[in-house]
Structure 1
Amino acid sequence: MSLRAIRILMDNRADAAALAFEHGWSAWLDLGPDGAWLWDTGQTGLFLENAEAMGIDPLAATGVALSHGHHDHAGGLPALLERGFAGPVVGHPGLLAVRYSRRGPSSFRSIGMGDGRLKDCPFDFAPTPDVRELAPGLAFVAGIDRRPGAFTATANLFCDTAGLVADTVPDDACLVAATARGPLVLLGCCHAGLGNTLCHVRRRLGLASVDTVVGGLHLAGAPDDALEEAVSALHESGVRRLFAGHCTGDAALSALRRNFAGETIATGSGLLIET
């Protein structure tokens, strides 16, 4: 088996008082003799400080895989590159698109990586529209199918400042790892939807079930029917462990603990997940 452990480098809350937190997500994947991979880079360079406090050297990663191009997942990439990271950066071809978050009727904030923040940071980009093996037992999965009637675009995200072109986050991706317990799916924000993601992963990789899901479920402020759909998706895929954080939301986390038959654990900066 490839994946030994996951260490959360950045999340919306911290598991230890000495660690930083922000609206962002980053995780370190320990693959033992097969090296290590970095999954997302948080919103700023704070994940680097957390990594140092945990005794982890991000520059030693074989590569970086990015779940999508929003700033809370890829915003720390410039800081990593400025430190001297020279490995591959794996992501969907749409990762570097321009995108905006609408804050008011005519107020838009850039949240994409295509706004020039990387212009002085050349890097080895490995565009991956579908599936790429990162290491034995570890795959990057993009191009997640959005089933008819099973996808709703996130409100107030756009690809223009006129609010005419919705950002459906086509670059949304996940990682799938083989573990001693069974397949593990590592999410970013899960903009494609949990049900769509798990269904796509199982179909694309030929998996009968998924044992563990880790990451943001994008359920903060979600209506009851969306929460019910998420629980159904977990049960349908045979998930036994859920480590939820970042954009999941406290209310959704409480609902998952009540209704999901498996184990539900809140993530935070510093959490160690042994596989």
Structure 2
Amino acid sequence: MPAAPNPVLSVLADDTVSSEEFVCEHALSILIRLPNGKRWLFDTGTTDVYLENAKRMGESLDDLSGIVISHGHEDHTGGLMFYPRLKGKPPVFGHPYIWHKSYQVRPDKPLRITGIPYMSRMHVSPVFVPVNNTKQLDDDLYFFTDIPREPGSFAPTQGNFFNEDGTGPVPLIDDGSLVVKTGKGLVVVMGCAHAGYTNILKAVHKAFPEENLMAVIGGLHLGNASEAVLKEAADFTDDIRTADFRFYGGHCTGDKAIAYFKSRFGDDAVQSLGSGKVIAFE
């Protein structure tokens, strides 16, 4: 496929599908094709669903420039179990704390191990590149980690613990997001936004104060956000967005958040993700 003048994002795994041609799981994986023709994979979902959907979309995952991991939870790293199927042995970038084993402990729900699966760890350890703070990965592609969290700000980390008995809260400081600079503005891609949607956008805006926000894409973890948190998120988005801003929420974003953003920015600007969706910027 020839290079496009702006990035093209293909959703390889999400909790829903864009059409019945594709398959889904509780996960996120997005292929990013840059204008220079290079391809980067953001997260790998839970299983090999991302590989199956890539095949159905006619997308090759051979010779990727790299894989970026948003955080260590298994619904973003489980697909690394199938790393040997990827030709070219791409490097895997992530915050060094993605390796910490953790548990999700919630009332009336089974204990969930949320760390990177053993087989994923085994395959990826030799090619892992740790990233702290912000790193430029490619032309106009940046990985933001260690996002500052303002005191009292919304950062969805509840229910995650280092111990099975629900002790030792995990702050999920490994949470990271991608930023793609385009001629029309910034595209921000979030995995689960555990650092907080608004905190992430503030960090990006501080790094690129002259750039407006063209799109937010991914798992935005606003399902349990209060009306006040949603208003703050939409208000800040409104302050820095372009006139043709687009919002694509999937995975952990939540229907309530999508409905709220639609009420602020309109049905055309706000859409759900879904496996198989292709997002192109003109």
Q: TM-score when scaled to structure 2?
A: 0.90
Residue in 2 that maps onto 1:253: 258
Preserved CA contact (<8 Å) 1:3 1:29: no
Q: Note if contact 2:29-2:44 (Cα within 8 Å) is conserved in structure 1.
A: yes
- Residue aligned with 1:178, SS: strand
Percent of pairs identical after alignment?
32
Answer yes or no: is 1:157 the counterpart of 2:160: yes
CA deviation vs aligned residue, 1:243-268 (integer Å, no higher than 9, x gap): 11111111221121112368111111
Moved more, 29-38 or 5-14: 29-38
Q: Deviations over 1:65-86 (max 9, x none)?
A: 0111111111111112355551
The answer to whether the 8 A contact 2:63-2:87 is kept is no
Describe the shift of the 1:73–1:164 C-alpha distance in structure 2 as closer, same or farther (beyond 3 A): same
The corresponding residue for 1:227 is: 230
1:133 CA drift (Å): 1.3
Q: What residue number does 1:264 align with?
A: 270
The CA distance in 2 between the partners of 1:97 and 1:89, in whole Å, is 16
Which of 106, 113, 120 is matched with 1:118 structurally?
120
SS in 2 for 1:94: helix
Counterpart residue number, 2:95: 92
Contact 2:250 / 2:272 at 8 angstroms: preserved in 1? yes
Q: What pairs with 1:24-173 in structure 2 (closer than 5 Å)?
A: 24-84=27-87, 86-104=89-107, 107-113=110-116, 116-122=118-124, 123-173=126-176
- Measure the CA separation in 2 of the matches of 1:62 and 1:136: 12
Q: How far has the Cα of 1:206 moved from its partner?
A: 4.0
Q: CA deviation at 1:119?
A: 4.7
Task: Identify which range, 190-199 or 72-81, moves more after superposition.
Answer: 72-81
Amino acid at match of 2:223: A
Deviates more, 1:232-241 or 1:179-188: 232-241
C-alpha distance in 2 between matches for 1:107 and 1:22: 18
TM-score (norm 1): 0.92
- Secondary structure in 2 matching 1:76: helix
Matched, 1:193 2:184: no
Deviation at 1:238, TM superposition (A): 2.0
**TM-superposed deviation, 1:30:** 0.7
Is the contact made by 1:153 and 1:166 (CA closer than 8 Å) also made in structure 2? no
1:217 matched residue in structure 2:
220
Amino acid across the alignment from 2:258: L
- CA displacement, residues 98-122 of structure 1 (integer Å, 9 cap, x when unaligned): 1111144795221111x53435424
Asked whether the equivalents of residues 12 and 246 of structure 1 are also in contact (C-alpha less than 8 Å), the reply is: yes
Paired residues of 1:2 and 1:136 also in contact (CA < 8 A): no
Given the alignment, which residue of 236, 247, 250 partners 1:242?
Answer: 247
Contact 1:19/1:269 (8 A) holds in 2? yes
Which residue identity does 1:214 align to in structure 2?
I
Once residues 207 and 98 of structure 1 are traced to their aligned partners in structure 2, the CA distance between those partners, rounded to angstroms, is 39
1:4: which partner in 2?
A: 7
Structure 2 residues not aligned, in runs of 5+: none
Distance 1:85 1:16, change over 3 A: farther
Tell me if structure 2 keeps the 8 A contact 1:172–1:191: yes
Residues 84 and 104 of structure 1: CA distance in aligned 2, closer, same or farther (over 3 Å):
farther
Contact 2:8 2:280 in 1 (8 A): yes
Q: Which amino acid aligns with 2:262?
A: R
